[in-house]
Chain A
Amino acid sequence: MVMKHIETRFLRRLALVAVPLALACQPMPGAAQPAPAAAPAPSYAASTGIAAKLMVRDSVRDLRVQSLRSQRRNDVMVVQMEIENTSGLNSRLYYRFRWLDADGMQAGDDEAWKPLHFMGRQNQFVKGVAPGPQAADFRIEMSAESP
């Protein structure tokens, strides 16, 4: 009699724990579906975040932007980009920075295109300084062809 009473209490407690657990594992109606896998970064950028800042006109061949960082110095935005030549062959890149203000409007005039020569497997750092304090964002236009 006593054993049967203990068994009933145990089963009740088990049910109390199991039911919420089972509900928690069920997909809730109206809940957000799991996010689809993020698109992979293009071959010229180490991540999708870096790729979002790049404007590649056609191809940059085997060049890849490995890192991108920015900070404000003397109230002016300074950007540093690290580019790696993943090939053993020499390569040439043409690039320029485009600066945007807080509203997304272009800040300053167009910069000149600049050539950059890479030896095989070489890494280079490229620095850009905004034309003034109004620049709050940037893009980097890149091309392996002569613009």
Chain B
Amino acid sequence: MSSGLSLRAACGAAVLSVLLLPGCQVMQPKVDAPTGVSYGDAKAVETVTNEFGSTDLQMIAERMTGSLLESAVLSGRPTLTLAPVRNKTSEYIDTKSIMDSIQTRLIKSNKVRFTRSMDEMQTGVEELQRQNQSGLYRNAGKAKMGNMVGAQYTLEGEIGSIVKQAGSVKDVYYKMTLKLYDVSAGTIEWQEEKEIRKTTRR
């Protein structure tokens, strides 16, 4: 009799605990699965492989921006535009991403203005044509043709690398060079380079 009672009590406790447990769980502001995915510091030093990585991009962008900002060529808030950066390394590098980082920092410094680059021109022209030639817009407030500002300087550059391997040692040397050309005079008004060496020993 008593053993039957205790069995029923145990079953009741088990059912109650199953019902109550989800209510006691601590809610976290995340949804995850046991895959090992986690967020990290985007500014941390990345040395997963010796190929071009996020730290290289960030170090190049900081060096180039810092050097330009302390240069007197930026006095008077001149207009700049970006030209494509040649990738002369043996690997794929998104050079547009490097230049975008440099452009972001320069614009946030408020010491320069940027005009549309050649890559971005088509979108601007299409928008101007839409406002001026479609007949859909009122005259008041629409962007007029022929008011674009020409850039005084262009930022041009290239990135190259030297890769050497001997036995278990692999050495990669990157060099990014950036030049600021005066568009009308064709002269180089500023130039900087950043070197990076990465060595892997297996």
Chain A interface (Cβ within 8 Å of chain B)? 73-76, 78, 94, 96, 108-115, 127-133, 146-147
Which has the most chain B C-beta neighbours within 10 Å: A74, A111, A146? A74
User: Which residue of chain B has the shortest Cβ distance to A78 in the bound complex?
Assistant: B70
Give the dominant DSSP class at B's interface.
helix
Contact with A along B73-96 (1 / 0, CB 8 A): 011000000000000000000000
Give the 10 A-B CB pairs with smallest separation, nearest first: A129-B66, A112-B58, A132-B109, A73-B70, A112-B43, A76-B69, A113-B45, A115-B45, A147-B44, A110-B43
CB <8 Å contact, B110 and A133 = yes
| CA of A94 to CA of B54, assembled, Å | 15
| CA of A96 to CA of B43, assembled, Å | 10
Chain B interface (Cβ within 8 Å of chain A)? 41, 43-45, 47, 54-55, 58-59, 62, 65-67, 69-72, 74-75, 105, 108-111
CB <8 Å contact, A112 and B109 = no
- CB B28 to nearest CB in A, in angstroms, measures 25
- CB A76 to nearest CB in B, in angstroms, measures 5
Give the residues in chain B near A133, CB-CB below 8 Å. Answer: 109-111
CB <8 Å contact, B55 and A112 = yes
CB <8 Å contact, B67 and A129 = yes
Identify B45's interface contact among A73, A78, A94, A110, CB under 8 A.
Answer: A94
| CA of A129 to CA of B67, assembled, Å | 8
Give the residues in chain A near B41, CB-CB below 8 Å. Answer: 113, 147
| CA of A128 to CA of B54, assembled, Å | 19
CB <8 Å contact, A131 and B108 = yes
Give the residues in chain A near B58, CB-CB below 8 Å. Answer: 111-112
Identify A74's interface contact among B45, B54, B72, B108, CB under 8 A.
Answer: B72
Give the residues in chain B near A75, CB-CB below 8 Å. Answer: 111
Give the residues in chain A near B110, CB-CB below 8 Å. Answer: 132-133
6 contacts between A and B (CB under 8 A): A74-B72, A112-B43, A114-B45, A129-B65, A132-B109, A147-B45
Give the residues in chain B near A108, CB-CB below 8 Å. Answer: 105, 108
Identify B111's interface contact among A94, A110, A114, A132, CB under 8 A.
Answer: A132
Which has the most chain A C-beta neighbours within 10 Å: B44, B54, B62, B110? B62
In the complex, besides A108-B105, A147-B41, 15 extra interface pairs with C-beta distance below 8 angstroms are: A74-B70, A74-B75, A108-B108, A109-B108, A112-B54, A113-B45, A113-B55, A129-B65, A129-B66, A129-B70, A130-B69, A131-B69, A146-B44, A147-B44, A147-B45
